[in-house]
Amino acid sequence: MKNWLKRCLSDRPADALEGAPVKAWSLDYPSPEREACFVAAGRVVQGWVLFDDAAFADSAERDAVLSSARVAAGWDAVYELSHPLEVARPDVIERVLQAEPSQHAQRHCGFRFSIPHRVKRFKLWLVIDDQRWPLKDIVIEEEGNTPLPSVLKVLKGRDGWLFLDNDTNGSVDQYAGRLLLTAEGVGAWQHYLQEVERQANLQQAHYAVLVAPSKESVMGPRYHPVAEGSTGPIFQLLALPEASRFVYPVPALTALGNDAFIQTDTHWAPLGALAATKELALALGISAEAIEAQFAADSYHARSVGGDLGNKLEPKQRCQVQSLRSFNYNRCRYFDNGLPNFGRLLVLVNEAALLPVTCLIFGSSSSYSTFNYLCRLFKHVVFVHSAGSLDPELISAVKPEYLVIQTNARFVVQVPKVEQSLHQLIDEKRARLSDDDIVQVNKRQVLVPEDDAVIQSLGLVAWASL
């Protein structure tokens, strides 16, 4: 196939590269000649591409190109959608090639996918192996009051299992292997991971990056209605040399069966959080025997829960989850600014922990269920809800013996920042709080005096006083 690509490039002048391998192509949607087409997931992008038979040396070369060809759509520098030509278009074979379509080699010359409603400008490329040709730059003009379909962010799988759909991170496209990081996105992740290592080395801290697998990656093969792809952003990252400190506990979670994730929620179940914590602790250099002994006496009980997916349905859907009964990290909450999500600062203190040290975590929502276990491994757990973005000033102030980055696999299309001011996050979050939010923050927060000895010893006075 590469020889074919070289021929196409060498046989045509540079200003004709855009159409070099293509006999004809067309974009059905979006088009100024047709009304916009929408589905729940977003705006429909539909069209077809026909290759020039004269460009192929033989049928094997043609078939290799047809199986490799993708149409990519990009509107963000970090990632892009990539869809194969898999839609049958007999109408195109009849009309353009004037041939019988039923057995034609290029019968599946069509593409159809959707992009988010919010996207008003994007590019289309034809991609074959590592070569690409620009097809079209698309700008969506003002569409007036075109009604958009209602969006339900829940995908119903088999046996009552629910999965995320139509989210801003393109979870379904990631799982299907049709959303990929660009070269720029991969490079940005490399820079970020190099900075994580540098910050850890400055403090001589043990460190690891815990990536919570998407629910699809663990439960999907059994219950998801979409087939799993062989590529995706998380696999691109795992292939990087900088990912040597990644903890991606798919095997450990898969071994738990249905106890790994909550049937009606996107997050791992308590037993899944325990499995992930054990893998993280091993990666941080803690002995397996000490880890097992710390949680050996834990007891669990079945509890009915709704979840962030089940609560979106009408009627709401609930399920049974094995929940930890013998311990709750809330008894170790020493300080908590109570802010929802980004900007939350939480300090856990447990004098009976395995190690008399501090673990600093820059994490996301999947971190919370690990606190029941982490605060029994480390005397001090300092948590910042930042989805992995770093605050070097905070790291320098806390001087942790252990540094943990926690993000979710579906978030990797958003590269964390290497310099994210927690002070700024807190200020911005407080400025956006509604009256109802403030009530909830006041109920949740745990405050201490500004001269508190523990907060001072952890170097957190500047942030705890905000």
CB 383 within 8 A of CB 346: yes
| Amino acid at the residue 48 | W
User: 79-84 and 70-74: which strand pairing?
Assistant: antiparallel
- What length is written for the chain? 466
> Which candidate, 355, 348, 397, places its Cα nearest to that of 375?
348
Bridge partners for 380 per DSSP: 349, 358
58's CB contacts (< 8 A; 6+ apart) are none
Give the pLDDT confidence score for residue 146 in this predicted structure.
Answer: 61
Q: What is the tens place of the pLDDT at every residue in 51-67? A: 988 878 788 888 888 89
199-234 burial code (b ≥16 CB/10 A, e <16)? bbeebebbbbbbbbbbbbbbbbeebbebeeeeebbb
What three-state secondary structure class fits 139? Answer: strand
Which H/E stretch holds residue 192?
Answer: helix 183-203
The per-residue pLDDT for range 391-440, each reduced to its tens digit, is 999 999 999 999 999 999 999 999 999 999 999 999 999 999 999 999 99
3-state SS class at 7: helix
Could you please report the per-residue DSSP string of 197-230?
HHHHHHHT-EEEEEEEPPHHHHHHHHH-SSPPPS
Residue 333 sits at the vertex; the CA angle it makes with 331 and 335, to the nearest 5 degrees, is 155
Closest CA to 181 of 419, 420, 418, 410: 410
Alpha-carbon distance of 230 to 157, in angstroms, equals: 20
* In the chain, where the domains are located: 2-144, 171-262+274-289+329-464
Question: How many other C-beta atoms are found inside a 10 Å radius of the C-beta of residue 295?
Answer: 17
Using alpha carbons, select from 170, 250, 239 the residue that is nearest to residue 215.
Answer: 250
With contact defined as beta carbons under 8 Å apart, do 377 and 294 qualify? yes
**Could you please report the per-residue DSSP string of 377-398?**
TEEEEEEEESTT---HHHHHHH
Range list of β-strands (E), 54-202? 70-74, 79-84, 110-115, 121-128, 131-139, 154-156, 162-164, 179-181
The single-letter code of the amino acid at 347 is V
Closest CA to 206 of 460, 405, 67, 50: 405
Q: What is the dihedral of CA 9, 13, 19, 20, to 10 degrees?
A: -30
The predicted structure's pLDDT at residue 335: 98
With residue 402 as reference, give the H or E element that holds it. strand 402-408
Q: Which residues of the chain have pLDDT under 70?
A: 1-20, 142-151
Orientation of helix 2-11 relative to helix 59-68, angle to 10°: 90
| Distance between first and last Cα of the chain | 60
329-333, long-range: CB within 8 Å, 24+ apart, which pairs? Answer: 329/371, 329/372, 329/375, 332/371, 332/375, 332/381, 333/446
CATH superfamily of 2-144: Immunoglobulins (2.60.40.10)
Read off φ and ψ for residue 153, nearest 5 degrees. Answer: -90, 35
- Going by the DSSP 8-state scheme, the letter that residue 285 receives in this structure is T
The alpha helices in 204-335, defined as continuous H runs, are 215-223, 233-238, 250-254, 270-283, 288-295, 307-310
Give the pTM: 0.91
